[in-house]
Structures are given as C-alpha cells and as structure tokens.
Amino acid sequence: MQRIRLRYTKRGRLRFTSHRDFQRAFERALRRAEVPMAYSAGFTPHPKVSYANAAPTGTGSEAEYLEIALTALRDPEQLRALLDESMPAGLDIVEAVEARTSGLADRLTASVWELRLDGVSQEDARRAVDAFNAAETVEVQRLMKNGVRTFDARSAVVSLEIRDLAETQSSQADRPTDQPCAILRLVVRHVTPAVRPDDVLSGLRAVADLAPPVPAAVTRLAQGLFDEETGTVTDPLAPDREAAEAPSTAEPTAAATASA
C-alpha cells in the first residue's frame, strides 16, 4: 500500500467552503482521476483519506494537508496534477510527496496566519498589538458544543506583529481598498482548546477596543513544527522529501564498496 501526502489551498471565494464541502469535492476528484484508492473495511467502506488540522470555514489557506492510501503505485507529481485538474479553482492541489515517515499530524504544531484588517489604520493596529503582547493573559469567549467557554488567547501566541503591506500576501485576501488597512502576522501554537485567528481578534478588542468595520480577511500561510531556535514554522513535508532523496545519495557509496 502506497501513502501519498498532499498540500492544498483554499483561495478566493473558496475560503468559505466548509471542511465537509472540501471532503465531498475531493472524493469526487478521486473518482474522476481514477485514483486506485484503498478502502476501509465494514458495511460502509470509504476511501482511506486522513485530514489534518483543517482551517476554519471562512479563512483562506496556503497550507492544508491530507494523506491518502493507494492500492497501486503512482507517481506523486502525476497524481497531483490529475487531482488538481479535477478540483474547483481555488481548491488547488499544489504539492504531493510519498509518505516515507510517520506522524504527519504530529508535525503540525503551529500555524502562521495573515490577518488583513480593512478600515484599520497602522497606528490603531500597532497600539492594539502592543497591548496584546504586553498582557500576561487575554481572556476571550467562544461558543462551543457544550456552551460558552472562556479561555486565554495569549499563551498560545508565539508572535503577533504589524507587517509592511509590500511584504505580505494580502493580494490573496482579495479585498483591495482605498481605505486604511493594517496587516498582522500571527504565529500561534496548536493547543487545546485551539486558539484561532478570530480568538486573537477578540483579544485585540478586549485589550484595546480594536474593532475592524468589516470582517478580517484571514489566510493561513504555513503550518508545521515550530522551531524554537529560529522562531519559524518548518515544512511538514520536508522529512518525506529528504527520505526520498536519501537512497540516491547512498548509491555511490554502495557502488564503491562493491568495486572494492
């Protein structure tokens, strides 16, 4: 059985698709591309697809991940291209690697988010960000299955900063405007309960009364392991690519040993 890991996006209006909407679209794409899927056992077999930490409905993303199991070998890049052709524009399959290591979900421990705040000046955003960063705790509330829950939105935040408009991917937020605009870059750890970008926005309202006149456009730029030394979020597919390249680097040594 071959396992393939895919990175996909949610762009433009497709950021409003729910995770269930994506599942339906992806399973249709598997059928159209005639992918030799492995199926679960039991009375209602379903394709073996493992989704990892999907972004909330309404947020864009450049870094969503899933893993599929196949009953026959396929070239990852050819498979990616076939699936991408079968998906709606905006739900793009942008990367595929053969799974050669375990624990993809375990490598998704932090996310990098971009928050576009239309109608908010740089000065007001900086004042709110400074107040948020200076606070030891920032309590927010969210409606959950068991009712309203209060939790700290500050402890999971690794960094929150103002970004220069020229350095951001705000074009993917697809809301150009002549009004003031502030772009925030948020790095947050994946904890329980999960601290989402809207929780951080609630925190900014709590500590500095920052209330954008229109909903923020939020895009996940990356997710993976958080590197404490560099303060960056690493690529979760890198170990699989490195493992795939390892045999080719070892071949000269083996050949040299044989000739000796």
Q: For residue 169, is pLDDT > 80?
A: no
Number of neighbours of residue 169 by Cβ within 10 angstroms: 14
The per-residue pLDDT for range 184-208, each reduced to its tens digit, is: 999 999 999 999 999 999 999 999 9
The per-residue pLDDT for range 27-70, each reduced to its tens digit, is: 999 999 999 999 998 888 999 999 999 999 999 999 999 999 99
Question: What is the pLDDT at residue 176?
Answer: 52
* Domains of the chain from N-terminus onward: 2-106 (3.30.70.580), 109-231 (3.30.70)
What's the pLDDT band for 145 if we cut at 50, 70, 90?
confident
Span 166-171, average pLDDT: 55
Q: For residue 87, is pLDDT > 80?
A: yes
Question: What is the pLDDT at residue 256?
Answer: 42
Question: What is the pLDDT at residue 172?
Answer: 45
